[in-house]
Structure 1
Amino acid sequence: MPKFAYSAIDAAGAEIEGTTKADTIGTARSILVEQNLFPIKIEEARGLLDFELTKEKVKKKNLMNFTRQLAVFVKAGIPITDALTTIGDESTDPALRRALGEMVDDLRNGGLFSAAAAQHPQVFPNYYVGILQAAELTGRLDESLDSLAEFIKREMDTRSKVVGALAYPLVVMSMSMVTVLVLAGYVLPQFKPLFEELDADLPLPTRMMLFFARFFGDLWYITAIFFLLTIATIAFLVMHPTGKELWQRMSLKIPVIGGIIEYAILERFCAVLGTMLVAGVAVPSAMETTTEAVANIVYREQLDIARQQMLEGSGFTQPLIETELFPGAARQMFKVGEETGTLDQQLEVAAEYFNRELEFRIERFTTMFEPIMIIFVGAVVGFVAIALVSAMYGVLNGVQEDV
């Protein structure tokens, strides 16, 4: 249970400090009130070993829930500081709770809501802060918060679909590899002394499997080096900036999977840009923030070039067409939106179009992949089975010949 440090005024009017355990700040506040103490300040107490190498990011789900709750408070006319205090008190996310507490202090010192949010990039992405800035200027904070909550939900759904589609083949491949490793590295070597003792003429599949099994016995160091190199390569591609860039470029060229990643990126681009324009953010600022929100280096480079051309007066649609990143249907939507002044609406339509296409591609990938993996796993296990069975027949034939 979290521990909270507090400053409070007791019944005699003296200021006291202490700590109390509670599930949330709100519960801690209630405990103090029951003890006839008036809380002045409550914050989560951190021990000597509770340090952070990097600030913990808030989960998308928690950010979505916070945004929806804040929208309700704003519509009800509740002051921002009171709303943030109430939401923070009841939040079970330590990172969000700490951020909201610091934001309340900033607001009470005369800061703007968007400026206070910008101080916590681990909680609020750049596009979120940009929309808040526009909402403060237009006075449509409640509408903007509703749009943000809906966008975050849609982004979570899209990410779940993509991760689910890509995780399935990895799980199946991993299980098939484990099966082969167990059969070749443990089961087959158990029969090797018998084969050598009987001096049986082993068939080719069995000899191939025994050769492979040597890498788990006499040549174990080669296998260990291979696995270490594999782990190092994965770590390089995931953690190192150069490796990330290399993987992002390579992933777009993988058949079928590249198309899924492409449409996920385009859906995010149109959804973020459309949400920002609806909130009243100017196109140049919205394009800059949206480009930063795109995770893939290839798209980010091309979109940055397009943004520079927009600043030079080339319009909105033509620079995006020249990137060759968008399909014909999306280009037509952009053109109509620019000509009719309904670009925000057309971007939302484009985001919905990409979302439907993404669902279709994921479904097609899953439908195509399942039989392929069944055939692959069946072939691998079948090969191992044939290697074992044919070896046993070879041994029996050799024994009968000797008799």
Structure 2
Amino acid sequence: MSFFAYSAVDANGQMVKGTLESDDLDTASRDVVAKGLYLISIKATSSQLGWLHKTMASFQVKRMEVIEFAQSLAVMLKAGLPILTCLEDIIASTSNKALRSAIQDIRQKVEQGGSVSGALAAQGPIFPGTLKTLITVGEGTGRLDASLQEAADHLLRVQHLADAIKKALMYPAFAITTTLSALVFWLAFVLPKLTGTMTGMGVKLPALTRALISVSALFQAHWGTMLLALLLLPIAFYLLGKNKKARYYRDWAAIKIPIVRLIVYNKLLASFAEQFGILVAAGIAMDRLFDLLIPSLGNEYFAVRLLKAKENILNGSLISESLKEQEIFPNLVLRMISIGETSGTLDTQLRFLSGYYAKKLNDATESLGKLIEPLVMLVIGALFAVIIMGLMLPIYDLVSKMGK
């Protein structure tokens, strides 16, 4: 399969650009026309550019739009409508170009005999892993509508969580950014003029002020490099995330750092219990279950540990014992899973754990602002203390000399 980039016009006369995978140029051209588009140009492109285009398209699709897609498809399928009819109706009512193009591609692949899960997987990061996993389960169990509804509910909870975290972090981010901006302005413009005046008057500058002068000189000499490094920092983190070993240590740190652990760890436990319970209730075999569960969690540290647990389970060990050996789950999770194994109610125990950790996660999110605020005030206070002391100490020395 090769990647092809195309330009086309839709039925409303709007320009549409996209990429698709196909066997050859002629097949790719027919695939574009089959979407109901008027093809203008098409050419082969590299797999890297095709992946990049799909990644950029994913940024244009909001999480709520994906939730609406899953919710609408679940309702239509439950009403007994054919899958192709459902997708056609959703395409007609979707205003987002990137999402509409993706759904058109999904419809085309399904019409050609492909699975819905395979069609979603071909869209790259536009659709989250949880949705792909649950659709795979729904297709395997014949409960696609129920799996889509579960996916929509899960994604909605994730969206509410993300909104709550953003709200809690808004004030700390504003306060720290404002303080750092003031510090940079003071170091770059105010301090050099004041120190020049004080040095000319023969004032002996204290160690703190001299240290600030050195920082100011360093900033003035290399401010361009510092700004570039700041802008490249997100790219560096992104590239590190592509390295499996770097991801492992990053994800390990995320569940160990205080405050961050409250959100990340509880989210992982809630997602693990919820999706594990769904897969168990669907009757998925353990080897296939872990293959579906692990990627959807999005944590490399958990992935490595769960793969080891999977090997032990397939070798005949109990689920609870295998998970206990990995030392990543609290006693409550291990105890409830053990009870579920011995009583045959594993899915019920996992649903309880999912609700418990979802509530714990909500409580942690609501108190996040209160937990961070003292730290923010401490940082801001320390920065202002350094600024004031660096300025006031030489002034105090000057006033003392004038008094004498």
Asked if Structure 1 and Structure 2 have the same fold, meaning a TM-score greater than 0.5 normalized by the shorter chain, the answer is yes
Q: What's the Cα RMSD here?
A: 3.4
Runs of 4+ in 1 over 6 A off after TM superposition: 44-51
- Out of 82-91 and 169-178, give the one that drifted further: 169-178
- Kindly provide the CA deviation profile for residues 308-333 of structure 1, in whole angstroms up to 9, marking residues without a partner as x: 11222213222112211111111122
In 1, distance between residues paired with 2:132 and 2:234?
Answer: 33
Per the alignment, residue 32 of structure 1 pairs with none
Equivalent in 94, 97, 100 of residue 97 of structure 2: 94
> In percent, how many aligned pairs have the same letter?
24
For the structure 1 residues 116 and 204, does the alpha-carbon distance in structure 2 shift closer, same or farther, using more than 3 Å as the test? Answer: closer
- Establish whether residue 238 from structure 1 lines up as the match of residue 238 from structure 2: yes
In 1, distance between residues paired with 2:258 and 2:36?
Answer: 54
Give the aligned residue type for 1:284. D
- Establish whether residue 284 from structure 1 lines up as the match of residue 284 from structure 2: no
- Establish whether residue 62 from structure 1 lines up as the match of residue 65 from structure 2: yes
For the structure 1 residues 235 and 21, does the alpha-carbon distance in structure 2 shift closer, same or farther, using more than 3 Å as the test? Answer: closer
Per the alignment, residue 262 of structure 1 pairs with 265
For the structure 1 residues 392 and 111, does the alpha-carbon distance in structure 2 shift closer, same or farther, using more than 3 Å as the test? Answer: closer
Per the alignment, residue 183 of structure 2 pairs with 180
Matches for 1:309-320 after TM superposition, within 5 Å? 309-320=312-323
Equivalent in 4, 14, 19 of residue 21 of structure 1: 14
Counterpart secondary structure, 2:274: helix
In 1, distance between residues paired with 2:264 and 2:38?
Answer: 40
Structure 2: give runs of 5+ residues left out of the alignment: 1-6, 17-32
Per the alignment, residue 376 of structure 2 pairs with 373
User: Would you say the 8 A contact 1:288–1:307 is kept in 2?
Assistant: no
- Kindly provide the CA deviation profile for residues 88-132 of structure 1, in whole angstroms up to 9, marking residues without a partner as x: 122123332122212222333333434433433434445534433
For the structure 1 residues 61 and 277, does the alpha-carbon distance in structure 2 shift closer, same or farther, using more than 3 Å as the test? Answer: farther
Give the aligned residue type for 1:174. T
Equivalent in 340, 343, 364 of residue 340 of structure 1: 343
Give the aligned residue type for 2:83. I
In 2, distance between residues paired with 1:260 and 1:86?
Answer: 38
Of structures 1 and 2, the larger Rg is shown by 1
Give the aligned residue type for 1:81. L
Per the alignment, residue 198 of structure 1 pairs with 201
In 2, distance between residues paired with 1:323 and 1:41?
Answer: 48
Per the alignment, residue 19 of structure 2 pairs with none
In 1, distance between residues paired with 2:319 and 2:374?
Answer: 44
Deviation at 1:235, TM superposition (A): 3.7
Equivalent in 316, 323, 328 of residue 326 of structure 2: 323
Per the alignment, residue 36 of structure 2 pairs with 42
In 1, distance between residues paired with 2:34 and 2:324?
Answer: 57
User: Would you say the 8 A contact 1:114–1:132 is kept in 2?
Assistant: yes
- Kindly provide the CA deviation profile for residues 144-169 of structure 1, in whole angstroms up to 9, marking residues without a partner as x: 22111111112223344456556765
For the structure 1 residues 225 and 249, does the alpha-carbon distance in structure 2 shift closer, same or farther, using more than 3 Å as the test? Answer: farther
In 1, distance between residues paired with 2:14 and 2:171?
Answer: 42
User: Would you say the 8 A contact 2:35–2:108 is kept in 1?
Assistant: no
In 2, distance between residues paired with 1:62 and 1:210?
Answer: 52
- Kindly provide the CA deviation profile for residues 26-47 of structure 1, in whole angstroms up to 9, marking residues without a partner as x: xxxxxxxxxxxxx985238677
In 2, distance between residues paired with 1:301 and 1:359?
Answer: 27
Per the alignment, residue 304 of structure 1 pairs with 307
In 2, distance between residues paired with 1:202 and 1:40?
Answer: 77
Counterpart secondary structure, 2:125: coil
User: Would you say the 8 A contact 1:306–1:323 is kept in 2?
Assistant: yes
Per the alignment, residue 29 of structure 1 pairs with none
For the structure 1 residues 345 and 212, does the alpha-carbon distance in structure 2 shift closer, same or farther, using more than 3 Å as the test? Answer: same
User: Would you say the 8 A contact 1:299–1:325 is kept in 2?
Assistant: yes
Give the aligned residue type for 1:43. L
In 2, distance between residues paired with 1:138 and 1:245?
Answer: 33
Per the alignment, residue 9 of structure 2 pairs with 4
In 1, distance between residues paired with 2:393 and 2:163?
Answer: 45
Which protein has the bigger helix share?
2
User: Would you say the 8 A contact 1:237–1:246 is kept in 2?
Assistant: no
User: Would you say the 8 A contact 1:189–1:210 is kept in 2?
Assistant: yes
User: Would you say the 8 A contact 1:238–1:244 is kept in 2?
Assistant: no
In 2, distance between residues paired with 1:342 and 1:255?
Answer: 34
- Kindly provide the CA deviation profile for residues 221-270 of structure 1, in whole angstroms up to 9, marking residues without a partner as x: 3x655665666665433322154333223333323323432222222222
For the structure 1 residues 127 and 367, does the alpha-carbon distance in structure 2 shift closer, same or farther, using more than 3 Å as the test? Answer: closer
In 1, distance between residues paired with 2:97 and 2:110?
Answer: 20
User: Would you say the 8 A contact 2:133–2:296 is kept in 1?
Assistant: no
In 2, distance between residues paired with 1:295 and 1:167?
Answer: 25
- Out of 71-80 and 355-364, give the one that drifted further: 355-364
For the structure 1 residues 234 and 353, does the alpha-carbon distance in structure 2 shift closer, same or farther, using more than 3 Å as the test? Answer: same
Deviation at 1:373, TM superposition (A): 1.9
**Whose relative contact order is higher, 1 or 2, with alpha carbons under 8 Å and at least 6 apart?**
1
- Establish whether residue 395 from structure 1 lines up as the match of residue 398 from structure 2: yes
Matches for 1:72-111 after TM superposition, within 5 Å? 72-111=75-114
In 2, distance between residues paired with 1:203 and 1:116?
Answer: 68
- Kindly provide the CA deviation profile for residues 59-85 of structure 1, in whole angstroms up to 9, marking residues without a partner as x: 432221101111111122221111101
Give the aligned residue type for 2:306. L
User: Would you say the 8 A contact 2:10–2:37 is kept in 1?
Assistant: yes
